[in-house]
Amino acid sequence: MKYQKLFEEYNLSGNTLKNRFLMAPMTRSRASQPGDIPNALMAEYYAQRSTAGIIITEATQISLQGKGYANTPGIYSPQQIEGWKLITTAVHKKGSKIIVQLWHVGRVSSSKVNGLQPIAPSALTAKDTSVYVFDGAPNGDATFVPVDEPREMSKTDNENVLNEFVQAAKNAIAAGFDGVEIHGANGYLLDQFLRSNSNKRMDEYGGTPQNRIRFLIEIAKEVARAIGKEKTGIRLSPFISFKDMSDPEILQTIMLAATELNKLDLAYIHLCEADWDDAPSIPIDFRTQLRKTFKNTIIATGNKTPEEAEQLLQENLADLIGFGRKFLTNPDYPAKVKQNLSLNEISDNHTLFGGGTARGYTDYPFIQKI
């Protein structure tokens, strides 16, 4: 077989995955309103893509305060938990596993989205950063609005957010998920704590890399304690600096975090890698150092070709490979890779975020109907 490793089974902390294809998190903004409730259309979407060995859901807010974009799902209300049960049941029936990505956006929000002033490690507005609402624009398009100035988090805010992550993790298990992924990447709240340019605190949560990783580690520790370390993973993005997140100390900080996460024996670290054409690639020496530092599963996601994915697996620099837009348009992506078939392209960019219908969501064709 051309891609032997990609099509191998893999044991992820006791979960046997049928292959090493991972469907990466992709925000699609189709939760039912009011209440940001997962629904039957979303269940069909995820079930179609259960050709992946494992699915990481779209980012899912742990509270109303943690919400940054319109029509994204939550996992903090009873109605949301019931909605997610539709999805986990559908995915499991198709023989795949599914993990929910737990999300707090921090300063990347606007009162136009959730009616609340954003919170962040420091009262610093993210430059050149916007979020979206749906306000009747043509074609149902999202309207992008600038983020608001955040309020610096108090110790009570920290405690509240930690408790929200823990409760969301418990809710996820109640909803039938196989685990949770703590979102510590892409300029959102926990990434804001990690970076020296967004975290100007002078208490125990800022000032040094050791202090800046503290909140991330506390949350990871408490979530693992609540639902099990084998059900807890984390996503990090050391080489991504959009949303005003450029920090010269981030690689040192991420590796320090990886050392502490290894001590917690978490299930995995998921590297979110830049996926645009001229994006920086992750150096091999960083991947090698991470493998030496973190003993459990490493996931790499970032618009990789099957050839690049297979090479990372063969060289033991990653254990699972995440594919995003290729799964968005090709629900049976692994079969197409195996048969070397052409791929569907995005049919209409207007349907990427929102829309509320099957168009551009569940109507992409399979090789054959499944």
Dmax (CA) for the chain in angstroms is: 58
Residues paired with residue 68 on neighbouring β-strands, in sequence order: none
Residues contacting residue 55 through CB under 8 Å, at least 6 positions apart: 22, 23, 46, 49, 91, 96, 97, 98, 99
**Phi and psi for 249 in degrees, rounded to 5?**
-100, 5
Q: What is the residue type of 111?
A: S
Cα 152 to Cα 158: distance, rounded to the nearest angstrom: 10
Cβ atoms of residues 350 and 23 within 8 Å: no
| Three-class secondary structure of residue 131 per DSSP | strand
69 is catalytic: no
| Three-class secondary structure of residue 92 per DSSP | helix
| Three-class secondary structure of residue 312 per DSSP | helix
CA-based nearest residue to 206, from 116, 124, 125? 124
In the set 188, 333, 361, 364, the catalytic residue is: 188
- Provide the annotated active-site residues: 188
